[in-house]
Chains A and B, each alone.
Chain A
Amino acid sequence: MIAGSRLAASRRVSGIAGVVLTGFCSALAAGLLIVILGYVVVQGWSAINPAFVTQLPHPVGVSGGGVANGIVGTLIIVALATLMAVPVGVLTGLYLAIYGRGLPAECVRFLAEVLSGVPSIAIGLFAYTILVQPFRHFSGLSAAFAFAVLMLPLMIRTSEEAIRGVPTAIREGALALGLPDYGGVIHVVLPAARPLIVTGLLLAIARVTGETAPLLFTAFGSQFWEVNPGNPMAALAMQIFTYAISPYDDWHRQAWGGALLLILAVLVLNIGARWALRGRTKRS
């Protein structure tokens, strides 16, 4: 009896210790994130003004200027990457979820997993080797290709899961009503899976938007307006890199401003992803 209550007490103590420990670690992790976000906001806030988002970078020694070309460059590169990654990613996901069986499907799944672990700098080097060196020209397009490769594993995985999540009975229902197999997939399965696919896409975009390493080999950077993806282009992440290691105080300030913009963009994308999911959970 006495032994039993002692056991219960020691269990209660270790239980409380466990809760305290996990709570402490969570507070530490959350606190660290808040400190990072707060620091970027404090440092970057002063740099953000209308000129910062509408003007071109000024040369060294001329204060002021902005990162408008980097914002536009990032948007164009990410948009092109999305155009490349979405069809391939969704169709691969579709194959894996519905048609893929046995060894071939396992191989594709395994390769996609391996691809998601490849460092982005290696993918940048690959894009440089096949798209920059042979054409003797840095370009936004080669950067978009590198980004598309980076987005692909996440696109494949979320598409497969989204499509697998649509009950087979719904597809069978479409077939029973006389739709051909492809019709059922296009008109019934894909629309049902869309919210999850969109979520995956937004997360994939958020993942590549801040990437800098692959851009160094491909987009190259630019101080000018450049909307032609066949030419070297500016990108926000690369501008932050260049400005942060420069010897000029004004550029350091702008690097923090750029970092704040990127964080805001990723935040909006994450909120968008949650919003797209919310529509789904309501329906089901």
Chain B
Amino acid sequence: MTRRACAALIAGFVGSAGLASLPALAATQLTGAGSSFVYPFFSKAFYTYSQAHNDVTVNYQSIGSGGGIQQFTAKTVDFGASDVPMNADELKRASGAVVQVPVALGGIAVTYNLPVTVPGGLKLTREAIVDIYLGKITHWNDPVLEKLNPRAGLPNLPIVTVHRSDGSGTTYIFTDFLSSVSKDWKDKVGTGKSVQWPGSNTVGGKGNEGVAGQVRQTTGGIGYVELAYAMENKLSTAQLENKAGKWVFCTASTVQAAASTKPSVSATDFSIVDRAGANSYPISGYTWAFVYENPTDKARAKLVRDVLTWVTGDDAQKIAASLNYVALPGTVQDTAKKALAEVKV
């Protein structure tokens, strides 16, 4: 019996060693982690890429922008992704010089859950959103909201604000918008991947998916999610007043209009919230991917560079557009190409 067990063990080890060496020859698996904002796009794009290139697979996990930066810093992934570039502190902590590449453009919709249907969609001014999240407007039938939506018959229902509980680039873009609209918000709360949310009636959700789920379950809830998540969950999205005083929904064309007012972006000057222009949607932003400028494993780094070059090119950006993102403007595609050329492979 012992001899048989011994033989079985050896066979098992040899077998698993054989299995282990086969796929290593077949395909290299690259790993990336971070932003949940960009996950639907990356998931589809990398699937398409590995079908065309059978020597490479890209494994991207949606763990949130904060987590993406952390894993990239710890060098446990080949690339990270976040909806806000790494700041000076984070760059200092990283294990070497970092190249930051814009890879996707998307809008953040303000979604709500009301027992009444608002004809033409709820209308919110930028100031009203600030006051709701500051806890100054606490009920849906507040005079400010009733004046904006006179025919809606808004109910006497407390407003529950939903925010991200994890470190989130989506939160960064949203609070960046609130700060640029309101000095009060800027002084009291500020801009960041996670902030101290004011107001007493507020709940958190993990990831874009978590916020979308919370809003869907909470009557009287209001939240901010990447457009694809709002569309897929069939959430109602609000019409916002932009800087020019025009009413705009979050759509590909209004996000594109906002992005076109700022043709050149960089890792230190990237904000496209609250832009001028009649058709500009006020809350949108880019997702950034990170790679090391001087990678140790040159062969792997070259594969990563090839993948990201493809992601920022026209073919992949068409996939993005089909999933409720906006194709990167030509000028930003050039920025991405230039950044990727800095990687020493």
Q: Are A61 and B31 in contact (CB under 8 A)?
A: no
For B322, the chain A residues whose CB sits under 8 A away are 61
Q: Is A54 an interface residue when CB atoms closer than 8 A count as contact?
A: no
Known: A138-B31, A223-B59, A245-B210. A61 touches B76 (CB 8 A): no
Interface size class on chain A is 20 to 34
Distance between Cα atoms of A230 and B232 in the complex (Å): 36
Q: Are B23 and A61 in contact (CB under 8 A)?
A: no
Shortest CB distance A197–B (Å): 13
Distance between Cα atoms of A117 and B338 in the complex (Å): 53
Q: Nearest B residue to A65 by beta-carbon distance?
A: B47
Known: A245-B207, A245-B209, A247-B233. A220 touches B31 (CB 8 A): yes
Q: Nearest B residue to A246 by beta-carbon distance?
A: B209
Distance between Cα atoms of A136 and B295 in the complex (Å): 13
Contact of A132 among B39, B48, B76 (CB under 8 A): B76
Q: Are A222 and B59 in contact (CB under 8 A)?
A: yes
Q: Are A60 and B40 in contact (CB under 8 A)?
A: yes
Interface Cβ pair total, 8 Å cutoff: 82
Distance between Cα atoms of A248 and B233 in the complex (Å): 7
Q: Are A186 and B209 in contact (CB under 8 A)?
A: no
Q: Mark B6-34, 1 if CB is under 8 A from A, else 0.
A: 00000010001001101110010101010
Within 8 A of B (CB), among A187-236: 191, 220-232
Known: A228-B23, A229-B20, A245-B207. A222 touches B43 (CB 8 A): no
Known: A60-B323, A245-B206. A232 touches B59 (CB 8 A): yes
Q: Are A136 and B61 in contact (CB under 8 A)?
A: no
Distance between Cα atoms of A137 and B44 in the complex (Å): 24
Which of B31, B40, B59, B229 is most buried by chain A, counting CB atoms within 10 A of its CB?
B59
Known: A186-B2, A245-B209. A226 touches B31 (CB 8 A): no
For B2, the chain A residues whose CB sits under 8 A away are 186
Shortest CB distance B309–A (Å): 20
Q: Are A61 and B44 in contact (CB under 8 A)?
A: yes
Contact of A247 among B47, B48, B229 (CB under 8 A): B229
Distance between Cα atoms of A153 and B5 in the complex (Å): 24
Shortest CB distance B34–A (Å): 13
Given contacts A224-B29, A224-B57, 4 further A-B contacts (CB under 8 A): A220-B61, A228-B23, A229-B16, A247-B208
